[in-house]
Structure 1
Amino acid sequence: MGSIQDLKLGIFLRFDRMGVLEDDLNAIEACASTAEIRQVFQRIIEDYGFCSFGFMDASHPWEDEPLLVSTHVPAWIDTYRAENFISTDPCLAVARRTNLPFHWGSVPLPPVTGKRKPGAVKTMEAVRDFGINQGLTIPVHYNDALGRRYSSVCALFWKDPVQKFFANLRYNGVQLHVILIYLAQKVIDLYAVETMGSKRTDYFAELRTSPLTDREKEVLKWAGMGKTSDETAMILSVSRKTVEAHIKSAMLKLGANNKTQATVQAVYRGLINI
């Protein structure tokens, strides 16, 4: 539970985290279109104190107008496109090189040495002009069931005082990361259905015959329930090295970059239940 100071800040604490996480993932899974997922995810992030979001498929850096699902004000989206911020956005540049979530204040900006401001500085000043005080960017890099590589970026916009943002992030950062990994795969899946007429069952039929061994499923399931490698080793009566070997093997089979991503992909593809 949070400190008295955190409670005074009005932090959006999730006390029944596992149950809430399951509800959020089920709500995303039930979406049948990108329009529906826009509404559902907006409700989810508002529960965490964010005002809006922008999800972008960044798999192809050369695209001027990539897939975008957003609930931010249209004026910001128009400005972002008109000013060509996609080519100067410092958060997007960082997101392409990392798997870890980061807040905007951690992104280094180039110094302003003359009258002309660098594009990265102009981008961040512009978003503040729209009343955004801070934000969280969550990159997701993964392979789909057909082996295709995707890089997605989701930005969560925060209007409240910055102090509340950091306190909230301490409590909910991991949960938001899990939800965003799940969301990314769902959006790409739905977009394929809407634009190419593909069916989700075509994508995942082979994977649902189970590329994972029973033991790999077990270690991912315990990881998804918040257990460390040491705790999982005790539960399964094996060594920590054995647990980590199974996790590494599962990550390789699922095309995941880390344990969290592997666990979420396994849940998404129906290979494990949490």
Structure 2
Amino acid sequence: MIGVLEVGGTHVSAAVVDPATWRVVRTARADVDADAPEHVLLDSFVAAAGSVDAPPAGVWGVAMPDPFDYAAGIGNFAGVAKFAALDGVDVGAALRARLRADVVFLNDADAFVLGEWAAGVARGAGRCVGMTLGTGIGSGWLVGGVVADPGDPRGGRIHTVTVDGAPLEDVVSRRALRRAFTAAGGDPAADVREITALARDGDATARDVVARSYTVLGSVLGPRLAAFGADLFVVGGSIAASWDVLEPPFRAGAGALPPVRVVVDSDHSALVGAAVHASRAG
């Protein structure tokens, strides 16, 4: 059995995963305040880990969001709107000391697609790309089940791409959609779920906002998927439930795409991916 953690912008999940089947055996989830002090954040990670009764020996896999030095286990969160208290902190050393176990890290989008490759919709795919749509946007690139750097985007991080000199997440992210919808005269309290529901129902403002954002995303990802030679494209994250609304403008911008698989309930994907990563390090 393998203990794993998955840290998101608003939560931490812990689980025990059976490497014989890649089935999540036990899991726990807790809310996290990304603006909390260092000791509060680390306490929440450790508390989650302690709640799933993981085996005392073995390597823990931890899926973390960017920007993070995954090899060294150190946060690089300066200038981003999350986990500022972990900037420069050796998270790996802190977790090893408190869990009394070794710890290895990987990017959360990499963990998502690796989990789907091991036990989900991308099982056994040769060249697979995963995209996570949530608070921000992430991407992971695999060749034969091994995380790969496609070169473009650098390190496989699609959120580092710029569009007309601005970060991609200024166009495609939860905050970008809400800002654009408000600027177009929409309800400033509407979140992505409400905006996409309005677009589904034919609201012209919502449809225009969604179309502009996801046509841009398609134009960014489509050529890179083709250059990578992807034979499968997997979409997950909290916004994936609205893919029926997002897909038409995405395809309009992307052009030809490989087969697309949507994972509406991807809560376990990154946990399984973290377990696969830990199993290879053990």
TM-score scaled by length of structure 2: 0.27
Higher helix share: 1
Structure label with greater radius of gyration:
1
TM-score scaled by length of structure 1: 0.28
Higher strand share: 2
